[in-house]
Structure 1
Amino acid sequence: MNGINRRRFIALSGLSGLGAWMGMASLLAAETDASSLSPRNLLKSPWFGRTPFALGVASGEPTPDGVVLWTRLATEPLEFGGGMPTQPIVVGWELADDEGFRRVIRRGTALAHPELGHSVHVELDGLAPGRPYWYRFNVAGYDTGTARTCTLPARGAQLQRVRFAVAGCQHYEEGYYTAWRKIAEEPLDFVFHYGDYIYEGATSPTRIRKMNGRPFTNLRNHVGPQLYTLDDYRRRYAQYKTDPDLQAAHAALPWFVTFDDHEVDNNWAGGDDQDGTPGPLFLLRRAQAFQAYYENMPLRRTAFPRDGRMQIYRRARYGDLLDLHLLDTRQYRSKQADMGNRAEVESPGRSITGAAQEKWLFDGLSDAAPRWHVIAHQVSLGNYAREKGGATVTSDDQWSGYLSSRRRLLDHIRQVGFKNVVTVCGDAHRHYASDLVQDHADSGVISSEFLATSISSGSDGLGVDAQAENTLAHSPYLKVTTDKRGYVLCDVDRDVWTGDLKILDRVMVPDGRLESFARFAIEHGNPGLQRA
């Protein structure tokens, strides 16, 4: 435990040791029917003066025969504890194969534990592949209303098309979540959320902020201080989840989620934060952030935090059409390098994925079965550069700061030779569409990347501004970039992958106008972006 006092670690993080984890895993596995579970402190007849479903519902982690259904009880979302009694509560759920709930095919109960912020994760299996389902929760006379989810197609099923959205970076203070409403209205199969679901900072009413070089007033303010404790993180998630547009997107279709930095702290890397906090202390904070993340996402019990860690990299297969490789580029990465020290930036001893995850990824990309491979991750693989202070600079917090990792991945993609790999990511608060080449000569185009702009972080933005022009001038394989909010819509068939860079004209006013900034296509077997 790197010198951490284990008993203190467990107490402060709210997590269990291995033995307790195994007991919790068994409990979670049983909770699609909690009728046989009766804790001594169970609240047997709950009563609430208002709906306990203020945070909405969600589904995620679909497989060909199952999906995770999520909700979290809170009558007072912005209060510590959410207004809930510190007792377990039985929550009912139903699943139907029609929107009107005329044919309820599954129903059960689950325990909402105070130890997990009264969150509920119902992990279903035994469902039919490649079809929609509708679900709802109920407790104490309240229900959630109807939400929609769907299972993945059968493994190996020959498919013609998949459509999904890539989105993230949703700073609550900096704009409306109009993009989520637009995503909810799209006919999509799933959402990939690349991270920065919440932001950890406190609102400072006396500090004059600037956005795009101009004075900026928050659209809405964070409640509470900088996030450090489990209660802090829980309340911040609750505040974000009260947004109706975000709730609509969760209720419309299943999500695959992963975290980036702001779910814990800006630019954290492995066991280090950006402030120089002693590692054991930062790991206490990280453990509490991980628990809150699990509590608030529709994740499987395989992701349940254990000893301050989460297993968040995983793979999903969409028939024979697409393999989705979801990465974790935070938990195992080396600390950011001094970008002026070329030897450090290029050191083979530094990694953004860690050795075990890298091998797992390389093994998956070597599979010839899927028509397409997509690497779904957090930060840009594209080596975007710009001029600053007379020097050409790249980011220390992206793959450009981990050149050995970047070179190994691109070399592997090229050597496998399928010519069918596309990467999707975010974090930069700008759209980027770029081909990917090695940083040495004559590699040719190996893959392509769609980097999705933010949902709201960065506020309205300036479009193709001076920074965009600067980056385009110093990044020869970058096709377009813009400082506007939105998402990327990926429309994939057997022969062509089309990425549509959607943007909103405004996010500081509701119902901004959505349009396509640029569309690019990639032909199967022929890497490289073409205007579509």
Structure 2
Amino acid sequence: MPTRRSFLSATGAAAALALTGTLPGLDAVGIPHRTDKRPLFTLGVASGDPLPDAVVIWTRLAPGPLEPFGGMDDRTVNVEWEVSEDEHFSRVVRRGTAHARPEYAHTVHVDVRGLRSWRHYFYRFRANGQVSPVGRTRTAPAPADQPAVSIAVASCQAYYDGFYTAYQDVVRRDHDVVLFLGDYIYEVGVGPTAGVRNQPVPVDFAGEIFTLDEYRARYALHKTDPDLQAAHAAAPWIVTLDDHEVEGNWAGYISEDGIPYDDFVVRRANGFRAYWEHMPLRLDQSPDGPSIRLHRHLRYGRTAGLSVLDTRQFRDDQTSTGGWLPPDEVSQDPARTITGDAQERWLLDTLHRSSSRWNVVAQQVAMAQLDRKTGPDLELPMDTWNGYVGSRDRVLSGVRDRHVRNFVVLTGDLHRAVASDLRVNFADPSTPAVGTEFVTTSISSGKDGVDSDATGKALLAENPHVKFQSVQRGYLSCRLDSSQWTSEYRVVDRVVTPGGTASTRATLVVEDGRPGTHLV
């Protein structure tokens, strides 16, 4: 059995090789072939990025998920897969064999094609005589169809801050798709007992992660959570990353921790590589060294067009620390960008061409102006669109000028729930709304939280466009049809201990053709 030290040494070359976008098979000299019969599918199964005729299915072989290499040796393993119309697999419609390779941490990504639109399917994997748990997925509607769609929106799941109780409710409410908007893992150490979970973990998990193998191990730790596994197995996920999948508050090629450029490029490549390996993403989305294409557009028939953004990889640096600060010349610079010029043009062109009833943007950080300072002066979160006013002005003006129908932004990051109208001019409450933003709270980050705090009270008092806020943990449950969008803020009463209870804290509605939201 290799030690953690030999694990890191054996893959030390990965830091440099990650820049090429591909890694060769590991030599693993001195690592014996394992003959143990431990369960292989300890990290569950997942599916994602549904199309009308296709969906990605995922798994990883890891008999020792927190051990070096996940407890696997250096051999490629054949993994059979099946997709069926029923959970008993009596009507199998697609099957094949994939290869779980050591250079990809023995993960498997299968882009299953030739499926029927807007149907539930069941899938499973088989390797070395073992069968995985069964997952359920659903394809997207046909382009001309307009069904009602249910969406769960989640983000920010610090493992050490609490249990993933909210996912139990996600499964119970039977959503068509789950959007995860960033901070799937956190790069900081989890401590010797994984924080409030009081779970012993290997000593190497106590520190911040930098190498490819450390990022892989952190994903493995998170994916051992049974509630997270159940949510992945219940519905397809559409994902994007934020900062903590690499480093807190990173921007473009700039490390907020002051890491030298060359070292940060390697760290970014390692973070991207492990992220793609552990998400149900297509092969053509695999990173090319320190670059990965995550912005993309998916359609749910004529009901919704979903534009997924990446507000980390192409942004200018944050002003100062990126914390809550008064606006300054940097944050107000009209040339600043949070998306990069190419992605901004792609977004506005996509929205302009759209024939969808609901035009949805799934992204990471708050777009609405959020002032928490009492009085005429402003204090804004500079890591968000509030620190990139030029970008926000161009996008919201573009939505207005292009007459984009039913513009809805879904956001994570804040560890609080916030619902806001979006205006071109937030300083003038009489300015018509051009859309709505729903910020979901965190799954666990921030521990239990409270219903309201000083910042939340200030947000409601100082921002007429803010309609609701809460600092409890939970997620956002949405239902959209031809007449309205309904958002339920589902909260759990505790996460620092298991067994929390979920309830609806608030329900807000957007009516078709009437920008802006209101409580019901």
Q: Do both share a fold (TM > 0.5)?
A: yes
Equivalent residue number for residue 6 of structure 1:
none
Equivalent residue number for residue 175 of structure 2:
188
TM-fit CA distance, 1:341? 6.2
Equivalents in 2 of 1:63, 1:335: separation in Å? 35
CA contact (8 A) 1:485 1:507 kept: yes
TM-fit CA distance, 1:205? 5.9
Equivalents in 1 of 2:287, 2:404: separation in Å? 36
Residue 276 of structure 1 aligns to which amino acid in structure 2? G
TM-fit CA distance, 1:382? 1.2
Aligned pairs for 1:281-430 (under 5 A) are 281-338=263-320, 339=325, 342-387=328-373, 392-430=378-416
For 1:474-514, what per-residue CA distance to the aligned partner results, in whole angstroms no more than 9, with x for missing partners? 22211111110110011101110111111011112222111
Equivalent residue number for residue 252 of structure 2:
270
Aligned pairs for 1:160-239 (under 5 A) are 160-204=147-191, 219-220=198-199, 223=202, 224=205, 225-239=207-221
CA contact (8 A) 1:230 1:289 kept: yes
Equivalent residue number for residue 467 of structure 1:
455
User: Structure 2 length as normaliser, TM-score?
Assistant: 0.91
For 1:114-140, what per-residue CA distance to the aligned partner results, in whole angstroms no more than 9, with x for missing partners? 111000001111111110110000111
Equivalents in 2 of 1:515, 1:194: separation in Å? 22
RMSD: 2.6
Equivalent residue number for residue 111 of structure 2:
123
Structure-2 change in CA distance of 1:389 and 1:434 (3 Å): closer
Matched, 1:74 2:62: yes
TM-fit CA distance, 1:418? 3.5
Equivalents in 2 of 1:388, 1:459: separation in Å? 27
Residue 188 of structure 2 aligns to which amino acid in structure 1? G
CA contact (8 A) 2:80 2:127 kept: yes
CA contact (8 A) 1:81 1:117 kept: yes
Residue 503 of structure 2 aligns to which amino acid in structure 1? E
Q: Which of 5, 10, 15 is matched with 1:12 structurally? A: 15
Equivalents in 2 of 1:81, 1:281: separation in Å? 23
Equivalents in 2 of 1:221, 1:14: separation in Å? 32
User: What is the DSSP-based 3-state SS (H/G/I as helix, E as strand, rest coil) of the residue aligned with 1:263?
Assistant: coil
User: Larger deviation: 274-283 or 287-296?
Assistant: 274-283
Residue 141 of structure 1 aligns to which amino acid in structure 2? G
CA contact (8 A) 2:327 2:378 kept: no
Equivalent residue number for residue 27 of structure 1:
none
Equivalents in 2 of 1:456, 1:388: separation in Å? 29
Matched, 1:252 2:197: no
Residue 487 of structure 1 aligns to which amino acid in structure 2? Y
Q: Which of 86, 89, 95 is matched with 2:83 structurally? A: 95
Equivalents in 1 of 2:379, 2:104: separation in Å? 43
Equivalents in 2 of 1:281, 1:340: separation in Å? 32
Aligned-residue sequence identity (percent) comes to: 43
CA contact (8 A) 1:165 1:487 kept: yes
Runs of 4+ residues over 4 Å off in structure 1: 216-223, 388-391
In structure 2, stretches of 5+ residues that fail to align are 1-11
Equivalents in 2 of 1:369, 1:147: separation in Å? 32
Q: Which of 418, 424, 434 is matched with 1:432 structurally? A: 418
Residue 267 of structure 2 aligns to which amino acid in structure 1? R
TM-fit CA distance, 1:203? 3.4
Equivalent residue number for residue 151 of structure 1:
139
Equivalents in 1 of 2:470, 2:257: separation in Å? 31
Residue 228 of structure 1 aligns to which amino acid in structure 2? F
CA contact (8 A) 1:161 1:492 kept: yes
Structure-2 change in CA distance of 1:292 and 1:109 (3 Å): same
Equivalents in 1 of 2:262, 2:17: separation in Å? 15
TM-fit CA distance, 1:219? 4.9
TM-fit CA distance, 1:13? 4.3
CA contact (8 A) 1:418 1:525 kept: no
Equivalents in 2 of 1:156, 1:241: separation in Å? 37
Aligned pairs for 1:513-524 (under 5 A) are 513-524=501-512
CA contact (8 A) 2:315 2:337 kept: yes
Equivalents in 1 of 2:192, 2:86: separation in Å? 48
For 1:322-378, what per-residue CA distance to the aligned partner results, in whole angstroms no more than 9, with x for missing partners? 000000000000000145562211213320000000000000111241111001000
Equivalents in 2 of 1:174, 1:130: separation in Å? 37
CA contact (8 A) 1:168 1:427 kept: yes
TM-fit CA distance, 1:217? 5.2
Residue 102 of structure 2 aligns to which amino acid in structure 1? P
User: Structure 1 length as normaliser, TM-score?
Assistant: 0.89
Equivalent residue number for residue 436 of structure 2:
448
Structure-2 change in CA distance of 1:528 and 1:58 (3 Å): same
Equivalent residue number for residue 472 of structure 2:
484
In structure 1, stretches of 5+ residues that fail to align are 1-8, 25-40, 210-215
TM-fit CA distance, 1:381? 0.5
TM-fit CA distance, 1:465? 2.1
CA contact (8 A) 2:158 2:186 kept: yes
Equivalents in 1 of 2:217, 2:291: separation in Å? 21
CA contact (8 A) 2:44 2:133 kept: no
Equivalents in 2 of 1:46, 1:123: separation in Å? 29
User: What is the DSSP-based 3-state SS (H/G/I as helix, E as strand, rest coil) of the residue aligned with 1:109?
Assistant: strand
Equivalents in 2 of 1:165, 1:218: separation in Å? 25
Equivalents in 1 of 2:58, 2:338: separation in Å? 31
